[in-house]
């Protein structure tokens, strides 16, 4: 293990050396923010220290996947909020508000509305029925092989799309700070991510999230307060000045600038609301607490932290319009847009309101945000491969803990390489939009299966597998043949599927497929699964937990 850790450190060092040699010759020493770079390096060093500390305490499968189940409700609430306060939230949403005004908030509102669904419908039952992944809870009364297979596929699709957003945000941030070429920046993030997850597991990921969440809340609060100080603490002044400066004028205060047609608006809203309840890295966090009571507390705390944070992004986005849009210090001479693109609006605003020192702090925290989120995502993806596919489907539960953890670490490396590759391909995409696509798959695969397994007694394995597959295939097909990939990336003239957001169609297809197939399933196993629903319900209410599937 020490040899492996050393090899990764040497690879990271080699990448940094090559990256340093590629620094743009036009970037002078004066242009590189020394304070920001110093804080960035200090944070990386600190998080590697946390990883080393966690690695010494990660001995069992439960330690690796669920931090031993010893995280408190407050700690888990902060960690969940840390997962949510990602590059998409901090960089992406503030960038969307900067570009589109009021419409940029559709993402933050949708993200927040999803929390009551988790609180009242899923959190307690999920904690009582599952062990490490949400597929544990789903497969309690259903056949584990088909259910874990489709759950793992849905998880991996969500994780990869979510990772793209984080990698793009991190790449742009490091590119801005160091003057590195974008692909080197993405490679550095990928290698650090592999280090955190491979050795520290959920314990390291959780504490990095907690520290990052506290720092980001403090930094965003200071930034929002400084913006309001410049506006005499008047929202009327903030909005009127933004209207006068923005090229769209008063249109930034009305909906329709970002999502122009009702079908896209409904589709995006469904993805954000119900996709929240299907995000594997969020659901996985409910297994880190000791009982259902702490799971409920986690959601209460997370909702408060997240709601407060999204209010701040609203102020930050409009503050960026006022303070950056006409300021040549932050504009690209060639394009006229922000240096680094709209995703960097919050980073530039930190310099505008707090100078070089605060820019250094926010840059380091933003990078911490990305590293923490990609670590949680990678861990959930690796657990889907090692625990759901390898241990449960391929080995039928007969696998040693050490072997399963070895597969998980190998999966982490594979996911890290995939994230680097996809982050380079999708460089020009807005990070909040990419997360919206991840939510669409979560709402089309994970949420329907999870919700119906807990609340509909007639659900069968065949219905869940076929319906979930229909939702997954529909969502991915709509994305591939939609405007973003088919036109923007592949260069075709027109899109085959006309809408950017597929959830309205894919989520409906999943629910219809699951219900119809389950009702038509008259097999003996289907009858056993229906009868097992009563036992599952009792367990979810009493908190007895599950040790495996009721139906095999």
The pLDDT of residue 65 is 79
CB 115 within 8 A of CB 279: no
C-alpha 74/C-alpha 91 separation (Å) is: 25
State the residue for tokens 């007969």.
398
Q: 396 pLDDT exceeds 70?
A: yes
With tokens 């949510």, the residue in question is 84
Q: Confirm if 79 and 210 have CB atoms less than 8 A apart.
A: yes
Which of 103-107, 213-217, 392-396 has the largest mean confidence?
213-217
Q: What is the torsion angle, in degrees rounded to the nearest 10, for the CA atoms of residue 523, residue 451, residue 291 and residue 162?
A: 120
Give the side-chain half-sphere CA count within 13 A for 548. Answer: 9
Whether 355 maps to a domain, the answer reads yes
Between CA 358 and CA 351 the distance in angstroms is: 6
Looking at residue 338, the DSSP 8-state letter turns out to be B
Residue 194 CA: distances (Å) to CA of 136, 201, 271, 415: 25, 10, 29, 9
Q: Do the Cβ atoms of 299 and 77 come closer than 8 Å? A: yes
Give the up-direction half-sphere exposure of residue 427: CA atoms within 13 A in the CB hemisphere. 15
Q: What is the pLDDT of residue 29?
A: 40
In a 13 Å sphere around the CA of 97, the CA atoms on its Cβ side amount to 30
pLDDT band for position 429 (50/70/90)?
Answer: low
Confirm if 348 and 330 have CB atoms less than 8 A apart.
yes
Number of Cβ atoms within 10 Å of the Cβ of 337? 14
pLDDT of residue 356: 81
Closest C-alpha among 120, 142, 117, 229 to residue 465: 142
CB 486 within 8 A of CB 513: no
Helix axes 431-441, 461-480, angle to 10 degrees: 150
Q: Where does the pLDDT of residue 550 fall: very low under 50, low under 70, confident under 90, or very high at 90 and above?
A: very low
The verdict on residue 113 lying in a domain is yes
pLDDT in tens, 302-341: 888 988 998 898 899 999 999 998 888 888 777 777 887 7
Cα gap 386→397, rounded to integer Å:
11
In angstroms, rounded to a whole number, what is the distance separating the alpha carbons of residues 274 and 287?
Answer: 20
Domain range for 311: 34-439
Hey, which residues does 8 pair with through a beta bridge?
Answer: none
Task: Count structural domains, the chain.
Answer: 1
From 24-28, 298-302, 425-429, 477-481, the region with the lowest mean pLDDT: 24-28
Q: How high is the pLDDT of residue 467? A: 95
Cβ atoms 6, 196 nearer than 8 A: no
Model confidence over 404-419: pLDDT tens digits? 888 888 888 888 888 8
In the predicted model, what is the mean pLDDT of residues 54-70? 80
Measured between alpha carbons, how far is residue 446 from residues 151, 283, 332, 409, 471 in Å? Answer: 6, 10, 42, 24, 9
How far is the CA of 533 from the CAs of 141, 170, 460, 537, 552, in angstroms?
7, 45, 10, 6, 14
Least Cα distance to 457 among 509, 382, 531, 525 occurs for 531
User: Hey, is 470 helix, strand or coil?
Assistant: helix
Is 406 a domain residue?
Answer: yes
Average pLDDT over residues 384-396: 85
Q: How confident is the model at residue 30 (pLDDT cuts 50, 70, 90)?
A: very low
* Model confidence pLDDT, tens digit, residues 161-208: 888 877 877 777 777 666 677 777 788 878 877 777 777 778 888 888
End-to-end Cα distance, the chain:
36
pLDDT over 70 (residue 433) = no
Contact present, 37 and 178 (Cβ < 8 Å): yes
CATH number of the structural domain spanning residue 393: 1.20.1730.10
**For residue 478, is it within any domain?**
no
Is 502 a member of any domain? no
The Cα 531–Cα 538 span in angstroms is 12
Average pLDDT over residues 467-490: 87
Position 384 confidence tier, pLDDT thresholds 50, 70, 90: confident
Residue position matching structure tokens 């889907």:
384
Tens digit of each residue's pLDDT (9 = 90 or more) over 107-163:
777 777 777 777 667 777 777 776 777 788 787 778 888 888 888 888 888 888 888
Determine, yes or no, domain membership for 430.
Answer: yes
CA distance linking residue 12 with residue 32, whole number of Å: 21
pLDDT grade, residue 514 (50/70/90)?
very high
Average model confidence (pLDDT) across the chain = 80
CA–CA separation, 52 and 94 (whole Å) = 34
d(CA 421, CA 276): 26
- Average pLDDT over every residue of 509-515: 96
Tell me the helices (H) and strands (E) count for the chain, helix number first: 23, 0
User: Which has the higher per-residue pLDDT, 331 or 368?
Assistant: 331
| Gap between the Cα atoms of 103 and 101, Å rounded | 6
Q: Kindly state whether residue 521 falls inside one of the protein's structural domains.
A: no
Query: Which helix (H) or strand (E) is 175 found in, with range?
Result: helix 144-178
Q: Is 338 left (phi over 0), alpha (psi -120 to 50) or beta?
A: beta
Distance of CA 161 to the CA centre of its chain: 9
Q: Is 249 a domain residue?
A: yes
- Whole-angstrom Cα distance, residue 184 to residue 189? 9
What is the spatial distance between Cα 135 and Cα 275, in angstroms, rounded to a whole number? Answer: 16
Q: Confidence band (pLDDT; 50, 70, 90) for 15? A: low
Cβ atoms within 10 Å of 524's Cβ, excluding its own: 7
**Of the ranges 140-144, 224-228, 371-375, 382-386, the best mean pLDDT one:** 224-228
Find the range with the poorest average confidence among 178-182, 437-441, 541-545.
541-545
Identify each DSSP E strand in 426-540 by its residue range. Answer: none
Q: Model-level pTM?
A: 0.80
H-helix or E-strand spanning residue 444: none
């Amino acid at each position: 293990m020490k040899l492996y850790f050393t090899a990764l450190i040497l690879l990271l060092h080699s990448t940094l050396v090559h990256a340093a040699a590629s620094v743009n010759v036009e970037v002078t020493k004066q242009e590189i923010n020394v304070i920001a770079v110093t804080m960035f390096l200090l944070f990386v060093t600190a998080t590697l220290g946390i990883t080393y500390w966690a690695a010494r305490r990660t001995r069992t499968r439960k330690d690796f996947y669920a931090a031993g189940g010893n995280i408190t409700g407050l700690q888990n609430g902060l960690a969940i909020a840390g997962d949510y306060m990602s590059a998409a939230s901090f960089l992406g949403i503030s960038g969307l508000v900067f570009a589109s005004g009021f419409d940029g908030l559709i993402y933050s509102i949708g993200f927040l509305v999803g929390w009551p669904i988790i609180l009242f419908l899923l959190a307690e039952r999920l904690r009582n029925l599952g062990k490490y992944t949400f597929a544990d809870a789903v497969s309690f009364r259903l056949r584990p092989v088909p259910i874990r297979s489709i759950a793992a596929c849905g998880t991996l699709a969500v994780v990869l799309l979510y990772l793209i957003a984080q990698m793009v945000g991190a790449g742009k941030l490091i590119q801005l700070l160091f003057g590195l070429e974008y692909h080197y920046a993405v490679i550095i993030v990928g290698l650090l991510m592999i280090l955190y997850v491979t050795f520290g597991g959920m314990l390291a990921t959780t504490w990095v999230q907690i520290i990052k969440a506290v720092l980001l809340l403090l930094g965003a609060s200071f930034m929002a307060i400084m913006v309001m100080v410049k506006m005499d603490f008047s929202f009327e002044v903030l909005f009127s000045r933004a209207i006068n400066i923005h090229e769209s004028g008063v249109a930034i205060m009305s909906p329709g600038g970002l999502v122009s047609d009702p079908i896209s608006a409904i589709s995006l809203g469904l993805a954000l609301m119900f996709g929240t309840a299907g995000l594997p890295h969020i659901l996985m966090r409910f297994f880190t607490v000791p009982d259902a009571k702490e799971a409920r507390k986690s959601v209460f705390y997370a909702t408060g932290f997240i709601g407060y944070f999204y209010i701040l992004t609203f102020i930050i986005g409009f503050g960026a319009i006022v303070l950056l849009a006409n300021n040549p210090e932050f504009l690209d001479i060639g394009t006229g847009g922000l240096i680094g693109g709209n995703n960097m609006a919050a980073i530039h605003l930190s310099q505008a309101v707090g100078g070089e020192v605060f820019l250094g702090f926010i840059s380091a925290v933003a990078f911490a945000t990305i590293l923490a989120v990609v670590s949680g995502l990678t861990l959930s993806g690796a657990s889907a491969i090692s625990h759901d596919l390898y241990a449960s489907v391929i080995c039928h539960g007969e696998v040693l803990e050490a072997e399963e953890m070895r597969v998980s670490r190998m999966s982490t490396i594979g996911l890290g390489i995939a994230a680097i590759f996809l982050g380079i391909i999708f460089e020009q995409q807005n990070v909040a939009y990419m997360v919206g696509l991840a939510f669409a798959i979560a709402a089309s695969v994970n949420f329907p299966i999870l919700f119906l397994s807990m609340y509909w007694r007639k659900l069968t394995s065949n219905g869940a597998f076929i319906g979930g597959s229909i939702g997954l295939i529909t969502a991915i097909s709509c994305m591939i043949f939609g405007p973003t990939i088919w036109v923007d990336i592949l260069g075709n003239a027109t899109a085959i599927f006309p809408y950017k957001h597929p959830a309205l169609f894919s989520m409906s297809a999943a629910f219809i497929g699951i219900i119809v197939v389950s009702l038509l399933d008259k097999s003996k196993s289907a009858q056993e699964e229906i009868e097992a629903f009563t036992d599952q319900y009792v367990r979810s209410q009493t908190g007895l937990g599950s040790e495996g599937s009721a139906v095999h």
